[in-house]
Amino acid sequence: MDQSAAPILLTGASQRIGLHCALRLLDDGHQVIVSYRSERPGLLELRKRGAVTLHADFASEAGIMTFIEALHGHTDSLRAIVHNASQWLSETPGQEAAVFQQLFNVHMLAPYLINLHCAEQLQRSTPADIIHISDDVTRRGSSQHLAYSASKAGLDNLTLSFAARYAPHIKVNGIAPALVLFNPDDQPQYRAKALAKSALGIEPGAEVIYQSLRYLLDNPYVTGTTLTVNGGRHLK
């Protein structure tokens, strides 16, 4: 199958890095399907460009399976699945279990079930890829965001397991970024402190994630690998 005939699914693409990557995939001539949890202005631009937008709530198994059913109704083939959907939650006293369960569902259960239930669609495309967007925090863990770090580390392990399971037809890789794009309301003091954590000391912007995504999609000889895109944080 011509790769342009099968769409790329990108989860969590209504804003920021996910939105940027979805638009760049459209620029490159791919058909794109995106999932979103909340209606945001970026979705209007995606729809105008021809992307299919599907609402999804990955906080529960039922929500995940509802999304998978809707996806199957839109396409019988997939060029790639890019798992970008993510949540950033802190454990508050009395809510630890609920937070852990929600982050587990979004970061691990959703990719796990989507990969299992959409393998047949990927097998109808040559080439075919699964890409998990993880986080550089898994390299060291986090004393403040235990559940977030643990669930992203689990996603890293799913990269290895699915790569072994789906080879040779489907390549499975990951991307582990750190400090790619500040939020508009981030204060100068925080920005300076964050930039000082990396060897390169820059805010690179969302394009570096698209470049990493493009590399994994285009390279036929990489699977079971997580690309570190952290500006050299491991050197500090």
Q: Let me know if 148 is a catalytic residue.
A: yes
* CA proximity to 170, closest of 223, 210, 215, 209: 223
Residues paired with residue 130 on neighbouring β-strands, in sequence order: 81, 172
Supply 30's token pair: 């791919």
Residue 226 φ then ψ, to 5°: -115, 120
Residue type at 207 in one-letter notation = E
In whole angstroms, what is the distance from residue 49 CA to residue 38 CA? Answer: 19
Which residue in 148, 166, 190, 215 is the catalytic one? Answer: 148
Supply 70's token pair: 């809707």
CA dihedral 88, 93, 96, 97 (to 10 degrees): -140
The angle, 0 to 180 degrees and rounded to 10, between the axes of the packed helices 16-27 and 207-218 is 50
Name the residues annotated as catalytic. Answer: 148
